[in-house]
Each structure stands twice: as structure tokens, then as C-alpha cells.
Amino acid sequence: MSTPETIPPAAIILAAGKGTRMQSDLPKVLHEVAGKPMVWWVVQACKEAGADLCVVVIGYKGELVREALADEPGVAFVEQTEQLGTAHATQMAEPAFDNRSLGDIFVLAGDGPLIRGKTLARLLEVHRRTHAAATLATSVIDDPTGYGRIVRAADGGFSAIVEQKDATDAQRAIKEVNPSYYCFRGDLLFKTLDQVGSNNSQGEYYVTDAPGLLKQQGQTVTVVDAVPPEDVLSINTLEQLAEVDRILQARLATA
């Protein structure tokens, strides 16, 4: 009988955004770093970590994303027609799993090309070893501005992820951040997303609420500080794109 541990992991990669500050009509995830679209690097990291299916959630000019990954085996596409938030985008992937036993599922951002396969492999190992419903790979960075903060319980365990716009002053001082590296038990992921609300400053459905909901239901949510600080760099501008390109080129040169 199959158990989540014996089924290869899958991945859901969120890639529907436009990237309005990129000064381009391209979908954000198709801007290139080190000669490849940034979403390509995310797919490769998932495969390195053992994923045999990557479901890419597309939206703005999605046909271009399909074309860019057309030669990649094990990649499927689903469309998010309305931009209602990351939880809603993740939900759009559920039909892609209809004929598949649900094992563990990575949920990742398609605009994070500095992701490493070995980081995802560690995330998966800890997730399975602790029999968690959800596991987050976090990072501690000097300037957490813009990132969701990891709120810890009194015992040091996970309590919640709070987005910056919804955070108190005390929470904004937290330097442990959420770079959007998640691993969920597939059977619990989609049930939990159905419970996510939109009572926040953006009026959106955040996937960041799912681990907190699981915790409230008595499920195990594990946090592992596994993302090197130098890998935590959002790409929202052309300047940040150039910086990530430099970092990735240097990493490849020394590999």
C-alpha cells in the first residue's frame, strides 16, 4: 500500500503574475537569469529534490510560459484566470492531481530562481521525519522588509506566518522570514485551502494562512531554518533581476 513517504513528491509552482515593476510585457517568471527563464530554475530544483510532477499555475500571457517549458518532461499547466491570491492560485492545481495518489507537495514561487535542490531535499527529509502536515523552510536575514514573518510559539515551535502589511511593530522586528518554500501533505493541503479566508489588508486568499490553520487543528507544522540568507532575494525590479543574475552566474561558475 502506498504511503506519502513512498510516493515521489510533486510540486506546485505559482507563476501567474505579471510583474508590473519589471518594465516589460513578459510574464514575470520568464525574465531570464543565467540564460534561462527564472521559473526554469525552480523546476530544476524540484526535480533535483525528487519531484516527478511540477504543476505550473499560469495566468498573465500563460501561453508564453507553456512555450518556455514545453520541452520539460513532467510539467503540467493549470490556469488562474482571476488573481485572488496565492491560496487561490494553489487551489487551481488540484485537478492536475485527480488521477494521482496524493503524496507530499512542494508549493513554491516561480520567481525564486535562487532556490536549490538540496534545500528542497532537506525540507522534504525533515517533513517526512517529523510526520508533519506542513513544513516551512525559513531564513534569518538582516533586513526582513517586505517578507512574511515567522511567528514562533512560546515553546519555540511554529505559530503563524504574518505578512508585513498585516504585522504589528513587534512582529515586523522579527528577522526570521518566509521565502515561500513549503512542503504539505497533499491530502491535507487542498482541504485546508478551502478554509482560508481573505480577511487581510489585501483582501486576498494567502497560502501563508494554511500552515497556521493546520496548527490550530492540532496538526504538526515543522519549521526548518534551511534557506541561506544569500538565497533570499525577491525579484520585483530590473535591478534585483540583475543582482540575482550575478549571484546565480557566480554560483554556477564555482559549481
Contact in structure between 77 and 62 (CB atoms under 8 Å): yes
Q: How far apart are CA 23 and CA 8, in angstroms?
A: 39
Q: How far apart are CA 37 and CA 187, in angstroms?
A: 31
Q: How far apart are CA 41 and CA 34, in angstroms?
A: 9
Report the SS3 class of residue 161.
strand
- Report the half-sphere exposure of 188 (CA within 13 A, side-chain side): 22
Q: All 3 cell numbers of residue 218?
A: 492540532
Active site residue 21: yes
Closest CA to 182 of 218, 145, 146, 212: 212
Report the SS3 class of residue 75.
strand
Q: How far apart are CA 242 and CA 203, in angstroms?
A: 32
Q: Give me the catalytic one of 21, 100, 129, 246.
A: 21
Q: All 3 cell numbers of residue 232?
A: 533570499
Q: How far apart are CA 28 and CA 24, in angstroms?
A: 8
Catalytic residues: 21
